[in-house]
Amino acid sequence: MKKELKIAITIFIVVFIIDQVVKFGFANLSWDVDGPYMSLKLAYNYGVAFSMFSFLEHNLKYIQLVIILIATLYLFKNKNVFKEYYIAIALLYAGGLSNILDRFTYGGVVDYFYWHHWFEFAIFNIADVMIDLAVVIIIFKQIKQSREEKKQNEIKS
């Protein structure tokens, strides 16, 4: 468990710092760049994915902190879940807490990747990508585990 915790903390720190440094650059140093397929443009998201729940703008950061607290308590009680998903959890926490810090620091989440070739897509940031990556890892591990259990049940039958 100590090894997994060290790796998770390292991943968390690296992702969190990189995300915050990049966001600082866009929010304070005008790093905007226009490109033919994708642009880097500062935008603030006052909601969650695709600006949903933006009407909760001022309370959202507190709601999200409560969710993080509940998730942390769950992980303390279910250490086996942490051991199985520590990389995904580190990515989720880094991305989630970085976006929450944005809400306290800038009033909204700092977004800057803007895809606009063939179709327009939501503006997002590194933290969002890490959260998505964590979800993909969790789904992949769940599918793999389900297939292994199914194979074990077939062997027993």
Q: Which residues are catalytic?
A: 111, 128
CA distance to 96, 109, 122, per residue, from 38 (Å): 24, 19, 11
The interaxial angle of helices 60-77 and 79-106, nearest 10 deg, is 160
* HSE of 143, CA atoms in CB hemisphere, 13 A: 6
CA atoms within 13 A on the CB side of 157: 6
